[in-house]
Amino acid sequence: MVGFIRTAYKAAFIIGLLLCAAIFARTTSDAVKMHTFNTIYKAARNGDVEEQYRLAQMYRLGRMVDVDRKKAVKWFTIAANNGHSLSVHILASMKGM
């Protein structure tokens, strides 16, 4: 009986550790995502054409943000106006949708 109790206690302890790790990982992941988004957004606002394109893709595909076609078009347009050729092509294909 004592062996069973020790085994159950160890299993409960391990499950508790795994749950704590999962909660920490999710929190950390959300914080990292927010930091990444903010870094890209600031760089895009400061004129970094690659980050403008990346931000547009994030809005178009719903990566780290909700899908937002208007914001995607806005940032693809800004990137295209700054010479990003792939943004020009993506804008053309989005207008055909």
What is the residue extent of each domain of the chain? 2-95
State residue 89's pLDDT score: 93
Beta strand spans in the chain (E): none
Give per-residue pLDDT as tens, 5-18: 677 666 666 776 66
pLDDT for position 9: 64
- The winner for highest mean pLDDT among 13-17, 45-49, 60-64, 90-94 is 45-49
Q: Are 30 and 55 in contact (CB under 8 A)?
A: no
Residue listed under structure tokens 């988004």: 37
